[in-house]
Structure 1
Amino acid sequence: MVIVVGSGAGGGLLSAELAKANIPVTIVEKGPLVDSKDAFNYYNKAIDGVDLLQTTCVGGNTIVSAGNGVKSSEDIFKEYGINISKELDEVVEKLNIHELDDSHMGRGTKLFMDSAEELGLNPVKMPKFIDEKKCIQCGRCAYGCPNNAKWTAVDFVKEAVDNGAKLLTNSPVTDIVVEGGKVKSIVITKDDGSKETLEDDLIILCAGAVTDARLLLKLGIPAGKHFITDPFVTVGAVVRDIGFNTEVSMNALVEGEHFILAPHYSSKYLDSRVDDKDLKPEDILSIMVKIGDEGLGYVSEDEVVKYNSIRDVQYLAEGAATAGAILQNAGAESVFVSTVFRSAHPGGTTPVGEIVDSNLETDVDGLYVCDGSVFPKAPGCPPIVAILALSLRLSKYLIENLN
């Protein structure tokens, strides 16, 4: 049997592939199984000093992702002897990642692309794992898709269960037991304080950067020394009646040397313009500015500390200025406002080359990690496809060695 802790991009595909290979799998998920349309209710509470977007439910952060299918991080992992080129292509095929047709290109996104093109910024359509036939263009991707038009890791979890895997929900793992250098079991602690022990000699952590690090720290493994994220701000302006708030989110992309830009509606911009009594959600055009940070910060057993370097701030400022130029060139009203600083895509707490080897195994025999925690550097763009590729690669390795 294999125990997979977590059911997001890493855990979902891994569980499905192992189950299809007739390997007994138990998926242990801290949160509940919920309808996609209700996923916004399961965003985690903010960590002091870190505005980090995460959800706790089956499917993890994939359930509130924008559906961006960017192939990334191939060169990052090659430096550590990990080639995910083939797996990236396989993931693109599995999820039917493609550019959405023009019927799903709204006025605001088109204005963003036209303006960026005029400025020589070479915008492209964002590759998506969204089914146009189901997508109703409501602008609620980050809240959980109300029409299940977007792939999420829940799809793989259900596939795993259909092939014999066991799913345990509302089951937070609080400890890992190791004996003689080999993993032995996990301990689940319920809300009522009761504990349950599941034994296995192969356990894979896919529970996210903070939880993975804390579980390993309890074993004396020096995880959490680095904490990477992709910081972002959203720069907005007024374009009356543009209707951007109901468009497919982040449906285009500009890649700068130090940042990426994507059209992204933020209600926080509306909150910042309380002086304009006539301003409506459909009057806002806004652009997300995202970078990969330098990994300053750490995760310990009782705190999460995150801060940014001067370089990080400079790159965000450069991206924000470029976003402002796009909006101004697009004819937006001249007042531009940036939202508060936030972060996404946490990782780096169990990096390959330090905490895990090229097969994603720790120094503890049979204990693996397979999610954003193993990234040695911040990707600076959506990491879901890269995490899925790592998961697919690990599944092949385990299937070959378990059968």
Structure 2
Amino acid sequence: MLDLPFSPSSTHSLGIELELQLIDLDTTELSDKALEIIKEYNDDVHVKKELTLSTIEINSSVHTEPFTLYEEMSRTTRGVAEIAKQKNCGLCGGGRHISNIWKDQLITPTERYTEVHQHIGFLAKLSCVFGQHIHVGVRTGDDAIYLCHALIPYLPHFITLSASSPYYQSEDTLFASSRFSARNSFHTFGVIEHDIRRWQDFVSYIDECTELDVIRSLKDIYWEVRPKPDFGTIEIRTCDTPLTIFHAAMLGGYAQMLVKYLLNNRNKRVRARESIIFANTFNAQRYGFDAPYIDADQHQRISIKTHIRQTLTELEKEADDTERKVLSYIADYISQGINDADEIRNKVQQGMSESDIIRAMMDMLVPTEHITHSTKTIIQK
């Protein structure tokens, strides 16, 4: 039997990873200079390689709340952007490059990524998309497995709130988030299997899948929520990369509050049918804030905005002052009714060129002047 210990983490600790687009400043196409920039920054804990050479991953340290996380991620991103500028490159968010041609991408020449490319073929280059991963600390493997199930009804929230990939190869996909189309062909994509209910079940699952060569390592599990035993966290992987660091930090804070709430209010919900889970996911990806949502517990169809607002109301009952600021931000963001995908579409409708839109996205990620956000003041996105 495989020995797979779960390293306990500080409960509700928070960290995020952001996959950022590396942009050539002359052409505004994706650039392949990631390795040069990462090497010069020289911090392989916080600035890492990804599958393609046009992606730079920025990782936070462990935080207790999202405002300090925001400050750290802003500093790191600015530092990387300064080096990138010397290479005639910039950074931006967004779940996809607006006009990227997938076959033009270059795979990062590491053993792991070369093996991935050889195994999944064209999907590796097609997977040149950009996401945010959110880590929240838990004490036990059993808690992590519980949360992999309990968070499923809330995944459409994160899709809607982070959606930023409406265009693919210069075509309007009609989706708020089209990033999924590069990932859902992976055979381990989706959500945790029904019969994995305890940590030992998960260990047995990994043991069987590795023995039969379904997977080579835990990294081959592409669930939208998965346990991360070496970090002692659960990892939410369903978000597009937002256009601003602050919004990314607030999504982290929202996830942190959901984990806290679900651990404090355990109940034995019956998991929704797979078709309902997939319908909610699809609708969030397709329609963003206009998506319908199926509440399986109440057996009713409502709007995604209504379900998020109901959740905010529940979370506020247990929230402290800092957490209420996060809830206020999310509530205001919903009331505005415009997510990042809508921002990008609006710029197209205003007649902006693709190059000008990408330059605007770079300015949003790294503004000319850094704005300091504190727990006393919320400046909206």
The two structures have a TM-score, normalised by structure 1, of 0.29
The two structures have a TM-score, normalised by structure 2, of 0.30
Between Structure 1 and Structure 2, which shows a larger proportion of strand residues? 1
Between Structure 1 and Structure 2, which shows a larger proportion of helix residues? 2
